[in-house]
């Protein structure tokens, strides 16, 4: 306990990773998304590892998010808000406290912020010093991303910077190239009209997010800032409450109640309309625009029954929230050989139904939340290149949940773009 307190004190004295200006700017963008004028693209790893704080992993992740947002901008004709599950996604909720292998039981891996993944007693022991390592890795990650974005890497005039090695092998390559060319044409056209570079449109920014699970860590970097009232979590812009910790009388809701950041809540199949309204009353008593994003993750076979009553309840209470769909976490399954996977078809089916249900109910699905990798991993089954069970072993790198690989992620963006285009009658 003393060791933890010492680390908390150290964290509290270190500089913040983000500013309240950025947080407030994101909140107002999320408010526009809730009103149907923007779309949220939130994605990244299930669990970042300290070892993934590496140049190629980060640039590839940025590239796929940029490519997806380009496709979405084109198809949706709306501004995209880009939020990474990165620079701090280091703590994981686990359903079992212990893991048993060959008769040996050790504490479960809870994310690099808490313990190590290697199956030894020494590594699985929680170590408070990891909180400092996590803060430092977050800072390194953010520093690199900010430098890339500000240095012009994210400039829409140069999408060729984001081409991943295997874009050419993808069956989606031609479609992507068409989109890139068409955006280039529109940009040049607008610039000819305006007689200058369209700065605000051509430059894009990134916000950071992670599950606000480890309360001592989050709290140590929660501060007051000059000229504003209230408290801000300054280690990321947009923390979320995980499904397992969203109890209205729980510690996580109590902490999130007290911060001014925009926040998201993961909503699983057990949630009732009444329970949801209790949460909203606790977390957003004043109905502040942009404050709440509800990320439903119900599963392809439960969304048709589960989602309508939730939309109904929120509407009945006269509330406006941003709705986002996480089509990953309700569709996880374990194969006979013990490998955790997700079927691409089920992921797409949940997304597809989510768009339809919101539209039928006069609501707006304004975001997606995805677990993805910019690398060519083999963790989810299906997709254009038809990954099968036997392929999973080839490049299964996730330490927790299976992610979409580069091609599956791009394909998802294209399907969303096409779906929304059709829905708007375009
Ligand atoms: C996650 O986002 O990795 C996660 C654990 O999600 P959920 O809380 O929705 O299960
Ligand atoms: Co996950």
Parallel/antiparallel/unpaired status of strands 340-342 and 332-334 = antiparallel
Q: Which residue has the tokens 């790893």?
A: 45
Q: Which residues contact 403 (CB under 8 A, 6 or more apart)?
A: 45, 46, 371, 372, 373, 377, 379, 380
Please list every protein residue whose CB sits less than 6 Å from any atom of ligand 1. 46, 93, 211, 242-244, 266, 297, 329, 401
Q: Determine the residue of 89, 329, 342 to mutate for testing ligand 1's pocket, defined as the one with the most ligand atoms within 8 A of the Cβ atom.
A: 329
Which ligand gives the minimal distance to the CA of 342? Answer: 2
Structure tokens belonging to residue 170: 């993808």
Dist. CA 47 → ligand 2 center (Å): 7
Q: Determine the residue of 243, 267, 340 to mutate for testing ligand 1's pocket, defined as the one with the most ligand atoms within 8 A of the Cβ atom.
A: 243
Q: Rounded to two decimals, what is the model's pTM?
A: 0.94
Contact predicate 69/417, CB 8 Å:
no
Dist. CA 327 → ligand 1 center (Å): 11
Dist. CA 401 → ligand 2 center (Å): 5
Contact predicate 408/416, CB 8 Å:
no
Q: What's the maximum distance between 2 C-alpha atoms anywhere in the chain?
A: 71
Q: Whose CA is nearest to atom 10 of ligand 1?
A: 243
pLDDT confidence of residue 259: 98
Dist. CA 133 → ligand 1 center (Å): 23
Q: Determine the residue of 42, 211, 294, 370 to mutate for testing ligand 1's pocket, defined as the one with the most ligand atoms within 8 A of the Cβ atom.
A: 211
Which ligand gives the minimal distance to the CA of 399? Answer: 2
Cα separation, 355 vs 360, in Å, equals 9
Query: What are the b/e assignments for 43-75, b being 16+ CB within 10 Å?
Result: bbbbbbbbebbeeebbbbbbbbbbbbbbbbbbb
Roughly what angle, to the nearest 10 degrees, separates helices 129-150 and 55-76? 50
pLDDT confidence of residue 197: 59
Contact predicate 206/83, CB 8 Å:
yes
Q: Determine the residue of 49, 401, 403 to mutate for testing ligand 1's pocket, defined as the one with the most ligand atoms within 8 A of the Cβ atom.
A: 401
Q: Whose CA is nearest to atom 2 of ligand 1?
A: 46
Atom of ligand 1 nearest to the CA of 268: 9
Cα separation, 51 vs 69, in Å, equals 26
Closest CA to 355 of 309, 406, 424, 294: 424
Dist. CA 32 → ligand 1 center (Å): 25
Structure tokens belonging to residue 299: 């599963």
The 3-state secondary structure of the chain reads CHHHHHHHHHHHHCCCCCCHHHHHHHHHHHHHHHCCCEEEEEEECCCCCHHHCCHHHHHHHHHHHHHHHHHHHHHHCCEEEEEEECCCCCCCCCCCCEEEECCEEEECCCCCCCCCCCCCHHHHCCCCHHHHHHHHHHHHHHHHHHHHHHCCCCCCCCHHHHCCHHHHHCCCHHHHHHHHHHHHHHHHHHHHHHCCCCHHHHCCCEEECCECCCHHHHHHCEEECCCCCCEEECCCCCCEECHHHCCCCCHHHHHHHCECCCEEEEECCCCCHHHHHHHHHHHCCCCCCCCEEEEECCCCCCHHHHHHHHHHHHHHCCCCCEEEECCCCCCEEECCCCCEEEEHHHHHHHHHHHHHHHHHCCCCEEEEEEEECCCCCCCCEECCCCECHHHHHHHCCCCCCCCECHHHHHHHHHHHHHHHHHHCCC
Which ligand gives the minimal distance to the CA of 246? Answer: 1
Atom of ligand 1 nearest to the CA of 369: 2
Dist. CA 243 → ligand 1 center (Å): 6
- Would you write out the chain's pLDDT as a tens digit for each of its 426 residues? 799 999 999 999 999 999 999 999 999 999 999 999 999 999 999 999 999 999 999 999 998 998 899 889 888 888 999 999 999 999 999 989 999 999 999 999 999 999 999 999 999 999 999 999 999 999 999 999 999 888 777 777 777 777 666 566 677 778 777 777 777 777 666 666 666 555 555 556 899 999 999 999 999 999 999 999 999 999 999 999 999 999 999 999 999 999 999 999 999 999 999 999 999 999 999 999 999 999 999 999 999 999 999 999 999 999 999 999 999 999 999 999 889 999 999 999 999 999 999 999 999 999 999 999 988 899 999 988 889 999 999 999 998 999 999 889 999 999 999 999 898 875
Q: Within 10 A of 1 (CB to CB), how many other CB atoms are there?
A: 6
Atom of ligand 1 nearest to the CA of 92: 5
Interior CA angle at 92 toward 333 and 343, to 5°? 20
- Name the strand (E) or helix (H) holding 414: helix 406-423
Strands of 9-126 (E only): list them. 38-44, 79-85, 98-101, 104-107
Q: Whose CA is nearest to atom 3 of ligand 1?
A: 46
pLDDT confidence of residue 193: 65
Q: Whose CA is nearest to atom 1 of ligand 1?
A: 46
Which ligand gives the minimal distance to the CA of 243? Answer: 1
pLDDT confidence of residue 198: 54
Dist. CA 419 → ligand 1 center (Å): 25
Atom of ligand 1 nearest to the CA of 46: 3
């Amino acid at each position: 306990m003393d060791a933890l307190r010492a680390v908390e004190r150290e964290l509290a004295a270190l500089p913040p990773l983000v500013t309240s200006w950025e947080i407030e700017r994101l909140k107002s963008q999320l408010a526009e998304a809730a009103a149907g004028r923007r779309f949220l693209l939130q994605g990244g790893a299930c669990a970042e590892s300290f070892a993934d704080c590496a140049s190629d992993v980060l640039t590839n992740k940025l590239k796929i998010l940029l490519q997806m947002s380009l496709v979405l901008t084109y198809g949706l004709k709306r501004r995209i808000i880009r939020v990474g599950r990165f620079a701090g996604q280091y703590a994981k909720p686990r359903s079992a406290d212990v893991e048993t292998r060959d008769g040996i039981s050790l504490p479960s891996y809870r994310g690099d912020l808490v313990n190590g993944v290697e199956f030894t007693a020494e590594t699985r022991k929680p170590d408070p010093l990891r909180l400092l390592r996590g803060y430092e890795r977050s800072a390194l990650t953010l520093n690199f991303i900010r430098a890339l974005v500000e240095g012009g890497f994210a400039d829409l005039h140069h999408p060729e910077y984001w081409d991943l090695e295997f874009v050419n092998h993808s069956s989606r390559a031609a479609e992507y190239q068409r989109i890139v060319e068409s955006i280039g044409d529109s940009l040049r056209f607008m610039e000819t009209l305006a007689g200058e570079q369209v700065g605000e449109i051509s430059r894009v920014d990134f916000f950071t997010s992670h599950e606000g699970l480890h309360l001592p860590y989050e709290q140590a970097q929660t501060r007051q800032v000059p000229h504003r009232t209230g408290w801000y979590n300054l280690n990321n812009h947009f923390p979320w409450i995980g499904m397992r910790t969203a109890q209205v009388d729980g510690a996580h809701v109590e902490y999130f109640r007290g911060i001014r950041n925009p926040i998201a809540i993961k909503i699983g199949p057990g949630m009732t309309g009444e329970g949801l309204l209790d949460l909203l009353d606790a977390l957003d008593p004043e109905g502040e625009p942009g404050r709440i994003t509800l990320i439903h993750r119900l599963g392809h076979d439960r969304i048709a029954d589960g989602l309508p009553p939730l939309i109904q309840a929120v509407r009945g209470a006269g509330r406006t929230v941003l709705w986002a769909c996480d089509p990953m976490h309700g569709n996880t399954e374990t194969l006979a050989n013990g490998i955790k996977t997700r079927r691409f078809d089920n992921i797409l089916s949940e997304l597809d139904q989510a768009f339809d249900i919101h539209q039928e109910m006069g609501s707006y699905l304004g975001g997606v939340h995805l677990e993805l990798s910019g690398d060519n991993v083999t963790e989810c089954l299906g997709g254009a290149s038809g990954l099968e069970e036997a392929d999973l072993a080839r490049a299964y790198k996730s330490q927790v949940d299976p992610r979409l690989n580069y091609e599956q992620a791009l394909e998802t963006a294209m399907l969303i773009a096409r779906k929304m285009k059709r829905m708007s009658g375009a």
